[in-house]
Structure 1
Amino acid sequence: MHGVLGKPPRTAADDGLATSKVMLMLLVAMTGVAPISLYLLVPALPVLASTFGRDISIAQMTVSLYMVGIACSQIVMGPLSDRFGRRPVLLAGLLLMVAASVACIFANNLPLLIAARFLQALGGASGMVISRAIIRDLYPRERVGAMISLVIAVMMIAQMLSPLTGGLLETAFGWRAIFYAITAAALATTIAIALALPETRRNRAEGGGFRGDVGSLLTSRAFVGFMLCQVLASQIIFAFAGGGPYIVVTQMGRSGAEYGAWFATTAFAYLIGNVFCVRYAPHHSLERLIWLGLALQLTGSLSNLVWSIGGINQAPAWLFGTQMIVMFGNAFVMSNSAAGAISVRPDAAGTASGAMGFLQMGLGSLVSQSGAFLGGHFATTLPITAAIFVLSLACASTMIFLVPRRDVVVTEQLIEQAEEEESGML
């Protein structure tokens, strides 16, 4: 039995490493290289379609299959990092990204570009999943959520600017310049990790393995509860992102540029939520921070639902104003529930992180499509706001019905430690 409060042994070297700015920058770089590369190409999609003489829906596959690659990478790279170590798996993944990015530069047809983009995501997303495992290797459970929030907050600044950067590169130098930039970023990240990142994975207990890790995680109510809480919270983002453009442009008759400006307000609220999470995490348990986030999610989503029923939020200010409350709380929920999930079995943090990331991206593609349907096939915001409220309720339900109470968890861990000490004495 593995309690959710388990902490790996720490050394003085770990403490120095964990508090360094170098480690923070490495975590940001490895986490951000894949999603930033995703958004850099988005402004160039119309140019790709015209350059290769294909329909825009085919060019869109450079984005959609990229997301599939991210999902596949998470379920593969996480368990591999538990077995072979964080550093070698991460370096192998980033080298694959570098090679695939070079292939993108020289692609002379769209199918080849799409295939290279899939491999680019498969390698680059190794940083997304392994970064969470590294954070759990280095930090005690109560600090993991704050560190994940800190990494996300720094990364989001670059991520929010990446579409603009991609558009400027394409306009000034052509679409291949985007892949030159991605190749340079991936290569720089690989070199930095090779030079500055030591192995952080602790020695595994005898008898461990992928099947054992998966079995112990899936039979843990705490892991399933925290994981579902994180995954369901992320689906709120996918649902709103999928339906938002249709609501603002089609239903409200506003321009695409105005939608982009309004959508940026929700991203800003999510960024500020992560900043506040970093500020308050040292003084509160991650369960308390999750409940704070859940309360804000429910308050914002219920308000939006009420406005929809009354026909009030047919203006962007109402819709996005309350959605900012949802996103502010969402930051607390996602980072701290992720911390809880990867802390159930610290020696299997990679597998836990991979399973969580795979479900998040896999369901996200479906929920995003559903959000687009709800936003594009109705003349009111009610379907999309109702869906977000249901997701908020489901998210809270995982904490109520699946995650054990804190006092029960502490008792179980004390029993486990006593059993281990007794077996060691025998």
Structure 2
Amino acid sequence: MHGMISKPPEAVSQAGVAHSRVVLVLLVVMTGLAPISLYLLVPALPMLATTFGRDASVVQMTVSCYMVGIALSQLLLGPLSDRYGRRPVMLAGLSLAIVASFGCILAQSLPQLILARFLQALGGASGMVISRAIIRDLYPRERVGAMISLVIAVMMIAQMLSPLTGGLIEITLGWHAIFYVVTALSVAIAIAVTLALPETRRARAEGASFGSDVTVLLKSRAFIGYVLCQVLASQIIFAFAGGGPYIVEVQMGRSSAEYGAWFATTGFAYFVGNLFCVRFSPRHSLDKLIWFGLALQLVGSLLNFGWSLLGLNQVPSVLFGTQMLVMFANAAVMANSAAGAISVRPSAAGTASGAMGFLQMGLGALTSQLGAYLGGHYASTLPLTSAILMLSLACASTMIFLVPRGNAIVSEDMIRQAEEDEAGVM
């Protein structure tokens, strides 16, 4: 099949797998399990505070500790999938998520629920990191960005509906029912992975280890540049999400429902941006799509900054209208820079994906707090739009100063192809 890489010894026919809709659906649900499980519970947080008789800030730990679990899962399970294979680590993570989901159902106190949620995220987030590694196993470098975009675009539809679904479940059946749904979803995914997902991990070179993988990655300017580009681009989302509610509800005096509706427009723009990458990736290189996204992202950030200076974005339509442009561009930057990062050393795609995901979630927790501070402690949008502009500039700087131009990046795909060509001549 055109465009496929050489087969790893453990895997079945990779050409058939890459074009299988079943596998693509699996990658979507694997990626979506952790974020869907997170957002399903959010509408029930006030009821949890009433049920356990605790302050809302304490109940919020069911969300914050869940995010910590996602971050640690990225860091731990990515390297493990490089060493032991994608399927066994994925199934181990799902098993932990299932057990932890039962723990959530049976929790008799809020600390027990918080611990169970942490373990649920630790196992359930395995799909977020491993799905990116599987995509890199199956596709050549220039196709990875498009496939990541496709998975994210489909997954986002379910993610955007999760808060509404969680609210309906809580109203009709109670908050425990949310965890029954999460448990059933985890079991269904585990069965599907067992039956339909082959092992895709590449054969590792003799002597390869976690230490050697990390050493090679850290010595690569391209890897560091791509990772920083992806992580900094994601911080734009966290900063705006953290400060947006305070700007709309406090500064602009609008309702929380109106804020939710406007915020959904940025999610829709991100969704369309991912579809754009799927459409144009076959005709344009990965780096060209990143540069296009960076330029558009910077234009949008400059516009919002300019509106703030002129005092013109004190209405949601202007603020979110321009932010939609930023989010459309952000999708192109994030998907393709992630593809570049996991393509520097394809046999260590899990390690690269895990490090990137850990930094993204870890810094995201801090950036969202910063965004909330900038949005809630000032009477203008200028502090928040200034921070987003600085993030956009920093994001572009990583590509300018760290990622080599043109054909300077030598990936394992190129090395492997050269070795195969040499062997053919001999």
The question of a shared fold, defined as TM-score above 0.5 by the shorter chain, is answered with yes
Consecutive unaligned residues in structure 1, runs of 5 or more: 1-5
Give the alignment of 1:23-62 within 5 angstroms.
Answer: 23-62=23-62
Contact 1:8/1:346 (8 A) holds in 2: no
Aligned counterpart, 1:164: 164
* 2:6 is aligned with 1:9: yes
> Which residue matches 2:217?
217
Residues 1:369 and 2:369 aligned together:
yes
What pairs with 1:161-200 in structure 2 (closer than 5 Å)? Answer: 161-200=161-200
Q: Which residue of 2 aligns with 1:334?
A: 334
TM-score (norm 2): 0.95
- Equivalent residue, structure 1, for 2:291: 291
Query: Separation in 2 of the partners of 1:417 and 1:275?
Result: 31
Any idea what SS the aligned residue of 1:69 has? helix
TM-aligned CA deviation for residue 8 of structure 1:
4.4
Where in structure 1 do 4 or more consecutive aligned residues deviate above 3 Å? 410-426
Which of 137-146 and 416-425 deviates more?
Answer: 416-425
Structure 2 CA distance for aligned equivalents of residues 67 and 136 of structure 1: 25
Partner of 2:102: 102
Residue type matched to 1:246 in 2?
Y
Q: After the TM superposition, which of the residue ranges 409-418 and 111-120 deviates more from structure 2? A: 409-418
**Whole-angstrom CA distance in 1 between matches of 2:301 and 2:152:** 23
In the alignment, the residues of structure 1 paired with residue 335 and residue 411 of structure 2 have an alpha-carbon distance, to the nearest angstrom, of 25
CA distance in 1, matches of 2:415, 2:79: 28
CA-to-aligned-CA distance 1:319-348 (integer Å, 9 cap, x gap): 000000000000000000000000000000
Identity of aligned pairs, percent?
Answer: 73
1:85 aligned partner: 85
The structural deviation recorded for 1:215 is 0.6
Q: 1:205: which partner in 2?
A: 205
1:363-407 Cα shifts (integer Å, max 9, x gaps): 000000000000000000000000000000000000000000123
SS of aligned partner of 2:13: helix
What are the residue-to-residue correspondences of 1:304-323 with 2, within 5 Å? 304-323=304-323
Could you tell which deviates more after superposition, 14-23 or 120-129? 14-23
Structure 1 equivalent of residue 74 of structure 2: 74
**What is the CA distance between 1:172 and its match in structure 2?**
0.2
Contact 2:262/2:320 (8 A) holds in 1? yes
Instruction: Report the alpha carbon displacement of residue 410 of structure 1 after superposing the two structures with TM.
Output: 5.8
Residue 114 of structure 2 is matched in structure 1 by 114
Q: How does 1:225-374 map to 2 (within 5 A)?
A: 225-374=225-374
TM-superposition CA deviations, 1:241-284 (whole Å, max 9, x none): 00000000000000000000000000000000001110000000
Question: Which TM-score applies when normalising by structure 1?
Answer: 0.95
Structure 1's 277 and 413: CA in aligned 2 closer, same or farther, altered over 3 A? closer
Alignment root-mean-square deviation, CA? 2.0
Aligned counterpart, 1:138 = 138
Deviation per CA, 1:302-334, whole angstroms, max 9, x where unpaired? 000000000000111110000000000000000
Return the alpha-carbon distance in structure 2 between the equivalents of residues 338 and 418 of structure 1.
Answer: 25
Q: 1:419 to 1:172 in 2, by over 3 A?
A: closer
Equivalents in 1 of 2:319, 2:292: separation in Å?
Answer: 22
**Greater shift in the superposed pair: 317-326 or 13-22:** 13-22
SS at match of 2:47: helix
8 Å CA contact retained: 2:344, 2:411:
no
CA–CA distance in 2 between the matches of 1:175 and 1:383? 38
Contact 1:86 1:201 in 2 (8 A): yes
For residues 273-305 of structure 1, give each alpha carbon's deviation from its aligned partner in whole angstroms, at most 9, with x where no partner exists: 001110000000000000111111001000000
- Matched residues in 2 for 1:239 and 1:219: separation? 30
- TM superposition shift of 1:13: 1.9
Name the CA distance, whole Å, in 1 between partners of 2:198 and 2:171: 40
Deviation at 1:192, TM superposition (A): 0.4
Contact 2:69 2:118 in 1 (8 A): yes
Contact map agreement 2:297 2:327 (CA 8 A) in 1: yes
Please give the alpha-carbon distance, in whole angstroms, between the structure 1 residues aligned to 2:97 and 2:412.
43
Taking the aligned partners of 1:263 and 1:239, their CA distance within structure 2 comes to: 13
**How far has the Cα of 1:424 moved from its partner?**
11
Partner of 1:3: none
1:403 paired to 2:403? yes
Correspondence for 1:381: 381
Structure 2 contact 102–183 (Cα < 8 Å) conserved: yes
8 Å CA contact retained: 1:243, 1:373: yes
- By how many angstroms is 1:10 displaced? 3.8
3-state SS of the aligned residue for 1:117?
helix
Question: Between Structure 1 and Structure 2, how many residues are aligned?
Answer: 421
- 1:200-224 per-position Cα deviation (integer Å, ceiling 9, x unaligned): 0021001111111001001100000
Change (3 A) 1:131 1:411: closer
Amino acid at match of 1:283: R
> Quick check: 1:7–1:346 contact (8 Å CA) kept in 2?
no
Q: Is the 8 A contact 1:150 1:274 kept in 2?
A: yes
CA contact (8 A) 1:298 1:392 kept: yes
2: CA distance between counterparts of 1:70 and 1:281?
Answer: 29
Secondary structure at the counterpart of residue 107 of structure 2 = coil
Give the whole-Å Cα distance in 2 for the aligned partners of 1:227 and 1:256.
34
Shift in CA distance, 344/269, structure 1 to aligned 2, threshold 3 Å: same
Aligned mates of 2:15, 2:420 — CA distance in 1: 26
